[in-house]
A and B are shown apart, each in its own frame.
Chain A
Amino acid sequence: MNAAKEDITEPCELSFDRPADDTLLVRLKGSWTIEQKLPDVGEVQSQVKSNAGVKQIAFDTRELTGWDSGLLSFLIKIINQYANGNIAVQKEGLPEGVRKLIDLAFAVPERKGARKEAVREPLVARIGASAIGAGQSSIDTLDFIGGAFLAFLKFLVGKARFQRSELMLTIQQCGVQALPIVSLISILVGLILAFIGAVQLMMFGAQIYVADLVSIAMVRVMGAVMVGIIMAGRTGAAFAAQLGTMQVNEEIDALQTLGISPMEFLVLPRMLALVMMMPLLCIYADLMGILGGFIVGVGMLDISSTQYINQVIKALNLYHFFIGLFHAVVFGVLVALAGCLRGIQCGRSASAVGQATTSAVVTGIVTIVVATAIITIVANILGI
């Protein structure tokens, strides 16, 4: 509003007059803009109250030098105040632009029932609602898992529709491109395990068993768990964000209306890629972890390198190796499911994509830890 900015220095003033017995004349002076400290509507109200017999409020704006939303909001408050009383608000004295905007503001009446009531549900109702929500979400999850399984069956008989190039791209993204971070984390985990073990084993002069400790721990479980957690944070989050954004852009709807199942086209290649890459990454992580232990063993515990390698070979057997691979495959399924599920369930806004990504990582890591516990207990019972 141009005029408003010309006389910014002049403060706004409010004064009152009684030109006739039944009229309260409100004088507005100076610049009424939102940069100013505007007077309170209460002043008008107290004038009306203290002057009995006022039947109408009129305005004098001849000395008004500028206005913007500040004045409008002041006037609209006055009008709303006396909307259904017996005091009329005369708008004739207001500038033409102000009158038009006030008319515009009241042109579309507030839609009945549009305003949201802040209703606070009782505790029991909230518990019930979240129980029903949890039930529904587990049904959705089962539905998704079923859909993913059906898509996989279709893939086995060669009928699933998806793009090979997308599969290859996903394999590259969650395979080769994950190698640097997997190397770093696995070597460090190997180092850490070796250090922790060495402190205890040195008390018995049994440093050589650091090789057993690190290699069995890495191969049997830690390699797979570390890769699983890296992939949950890296690839699971990427899946959720990608599919979530596709949901926001209606790309998934576009696939569905073409009769292409998003399960086959989007979820299947991602699941396949991750399930194929996880065991490979796991084997790589195992080697890197053993290398980490080797560095500590040879560099700090005075074990010769041949001795260390021989000890590792003696310690490991194929059971450890296959249990480790089994972990990796399970984690691949879990991380891919979590990422795709949260992506497909995503709402249609930027914040929903954020929630989907967070939820994918959390779900991925929690299910990885739970699955590790279950597999470890079962392996223990079976004695392998």
Chain B
Amino acid sequence: MPNGLLMSENETNKEPHIIVEDLTMAYGSFVVQRDLTFTVNREDIFIIMGGSGCGKSTLMRHMVGLKSPAKGHVFYEDVSFWETEPEQRDQIMRNIGILYQSGALWSSMTLAENIALPLGEYTDLNAGQIREIAALKLSLVGLAGFEDYYPSEISGGMRKRAGLARAMALDPDILFFDEPSAGLDPISASLLDELILELRESLGTTIMVVTHELASIFAIGNNSVYLDPDKKTMTAAGDPKKLLEETEDPELRRFLTRGKG
């Protein structure tokens, strides 16, 4: 039974969901980050944090299968994502939902059609059922009644929420958020944070968030990795609130205190 409350806060009951091992990311000979090793547990809200240009989004692209690593592995449960058969890789990717920075909704389709596309491709549902599920997903993100709008007809914040509805279309086990609060007003941003928490609680989804928004990091994150842009590697991992209390790394301290610590 997917009952998030039973397991989520129970520290002893953590099972690893995604393991990144010895990962080096590079564009050609330019190394973005090297030697990344961390574990994401089931039902974590895992924050990938770091300053601008440190490779946060690149790390996300490696984890979701858009870019292959220069070295190292990404394991989903026991399967090494980049070494396994293409069919299995597709299977894993289908289990991942991604909210892109600006929504990345397909502009020639209505919101309902955007959500219907993956459902039509990967399930045997009929058109009526697909439309019902699309309406359900939109109502979950607070966009009930906007099924027939085109992405260009709604505001940026609504586009982001519609992007989340599409990311959830196939009921994925893992949701990635790329800069969820970028371009949102503070109220919408905190509502989105609440929505992320709510989804984790009720669906038991593992959530990965790429962000440098401190408010979100402390509000929702229970695990994290910090990428240092100068040392080009990770310098800390763990619960961001504990990191703030315990860290002795001046760079990380400056990051977590907005340069005041």
Complexed CA–CA distance, A55 and B16 (Å):
47
Pick the residue among B5, B129, B137, B139 that contacts A96 (CB under 8 A): B5
Contacting residue for B108 out of A5, A115, A349, CB 8 A: A349
Q: A64-B1, A115-B145, A349-B107 are in contact. Are A73 and B204 (CB under 8 A)?
A: no
B2 touches A110 (CB 8 A): no
B159 → A minimal CB distance (Å): 11
Q: Is there contact, CB below 8 Å, between B3 and A96? A: yes
Pair A109/B144 contact, Cβ less than 8 Å: yes
Report yes or no: A97 in contact with B142, Cβ–Cβ below 8 A: no
A1-B204, A97-B3, A349-B151 given; A110·B108 CB < 8 A: no
CB interface residues, A 58-107, toward B, < 8 Å? 64-70, 72-73, 76-77, 95-98, 100-101, 104-107
Are A107 and B142 touching (Cβ within 8 A)?
yes
* Residue from the list B171, B198, B205 in contact with A69, Cβ < 8 A: B171
Which residues of chain B are near A96, meaning CB under 8 Å?
3, 5, 202
CB-defined contacts of B108 to chain A, threshold 8 Å? 349-351
Does any Cβ of B come within 8 Å of A20's Cβ? no
Chain B interface residue count, CB cutoff 8 Å, equals: 40
A307 to B136, CA, bound (A): 81
A5 contacts B173, C-beta separation under 8 Å: yes
Tell whether A97 pairs with B139 under 8 Å between CB atoms, given A1-B2, A2-B2, A68-B171: no
Question: Is A108 among interface residues, defined by CB-CB distance under 8 A?
Answer: yes
Residues B173 and A73 in contact, CB atoms below 8 Å apart: no
Q: A1-B171, A98-B202, A350-B108 are in contact. Are A116 and B123 (CB under 8 A)?
A: no
**A-B pairs under 8 A by CB, number:** 110
Residue B26 interfacial (CB < 8 Å): no
Q: Interface readout for B61-89 with A: 1 if CB under 8 Å, 0 if not?
A: 00000000000000000000000000000
Q: Please, what's the 1-or-0 string for B190-227, where 1 marks a CB less than 8 Å from any CB in chain A?
A: 00000100100111110000000000000000000000
Q: How far is the CA of A347 from the CA of B173 in the complex (A)?
A: 37
Q: Is B4 an interface residue (CB 8 A)?
A: yes
A116 to B42 CA separation, bound complex (whole angstroms): 40
Q: Are B133 and A69 in contact (CB under 8 A)?
A: yes
Give the residue among A67, A72, A348 with the most B Cβ atoms within 10 A. A72
Using Cβ atoms and an 8 Å threshold, which residues of chain A touch B4? Answer: 97
Q: Which residues of B contact A95 (CB under 8 A)?
A: 1-3
Give the docked Cα–Cα distance between A27 and B202 (Å): 21
Q: A97-B204, A116-B149, A349-B152 are in contact. Are A34 and B142 (CB under 8 A)?
A: no
Any chain A CB within 8 A of the CB of B100? no
Please state if B203 and A101 are interface contacts (CB–CB under 8 Å): yes
Produce 1/0 per residue, B123-159, CB < 8 A to A.
Answer: 1110001001100110110111111111110000000
Known: A116-B149, A347-B152, A350-B107. 9 other contacts (CB 8 A): A4-B171, A34-B125, A76-B132, A96-B202, A100-B198, A101-B203, A105-B144, A110-B144, A351-B107
Q: Which residues of B contact A (CB under 8 A)?
A: 1-5, 42, 106-108, 119, 123-125, 129, 132-133, 136-137, 139-140, 142-152, 171, 173, 195, 198, 201-205
Interface pairs (5), CB distance under 8 Å:
A4-B2, A64-B1, A73-B136, A110-B139, A110-B145
Nearest 9 CB-CB pairings of A with B: A349-B107, A108-B142, A97-B202, A351-B108, A110-B145, A114-B145, A3-B2, A100-B202, A110-B144
